[in-house]
Amino acid sequence: MDVDGTSTGVAQVDGVRLHYTRAGSGPLVVLLHGWPQTARCWQPVLGELARRYTVVAPDLRGYGRSDKPVTGYDKRRMAADMAGLVESLGFAHASVVGHDRGARVAHRWALDRPEQVERIVLLDIVPTREMLRRLDSTIAAGYWHWFFHLQPDLPERLVGPDVRGYLEYFFERWTYNRHALPDEAVDAYVAAFSRPGALRAGFDDYRATEADTALDDADFAEGRLLTVPVLALWGAVGLPAKLPTLDIWRDHSARPEQVTGAEIPECGHFIAEEAPQALLAHLRDFLPKPD
């Protein structure tokens, strides 16, 4: 749904230019996309959310129209990007909705800056450390691309000649409602990852896994857990549905009673596009009520 007053902008944070879409007014809600997408993935829900909130949907470092530096893809750095973006827009705090890689950024952002993040919504993931700790044949088969993307240079060489073919593999395999990603959406994502540096940057996001896991393991060992309210949502068709996802997120919270979640029926990985009305219903119940 479109909404009047939608605009785009660029903020420079620590030398990196971050592109974002902004709409609406009221309390701030930041929407963080995943791989292999951009902020475009929020189009089915952005307009409705903007009726009650200021909505900001950035392209993460390395994605879309944002800069693609050769460093800084650990989630602490990427979360600091988002913190700087929020501050540059004049906001003291935000609710954060993250999908896929963006949910991992949201998780780290809430751990590092709980005073800035009011609450988080985490779409179709479990914590990085838990995914690797539970590695078995099912996890390995479901997340094979992680280990491929971790390799230096190889994925760029193999994927580069056929970006469309590679991305369409995931858009088909990870969806239940395949019609929810129309040709124009897929075209936009293929164009985004065909830009100079885009493939490498997306793979660098995955190549930061060792640094991300080390941070997560250290926090968990020290009892440094989430303190903000958490809503975890996952599609019924996908790997998180095969895991005790809600229990896992409660184990990663200092206040497990503040962690709620649900499975989205007849939905795959791309929740905002496959099941926008279901997502909006959960967000209405969870996000802070505007004055």
**Active site members:** 100, 269
d(CA 11, CA 155): 30
The answer to whether the beta carbons of residues 243 and 261 sit under 8 Å apart is: no
Phi, psi of 242 (to 5 degrees): -90, 0
Q: Is 281 strand, coil or helix?
A: helix
- One-letter amino acid of 129: R
φ/ψ (deg, to 5) at 249: -65, -35
**Kind of pairing between the strands at 7-13 and 230-235:** unpaired
Measured CA to CA, the distance from residue 19 to residue 224 in angstroms comes to 32
3-state secondary structure of 234: strand
Q: How far apart are CA 247 and CA 165, in angstroms?
A: 36
Tokens of 250: 């409660």
CA distance linking residue 76 with residue 81, whole number of Å: 9
- Cα→Cα distances 78→95, 112, 152, 213, Å: 17, 11, 20, 15
How many Cβ atoms sit within 10 Å of the Cβ of residue 284? 12
3-state secondary structure of 211: helix
Residue 245 · residue 234 · CB < 8 Å: yes
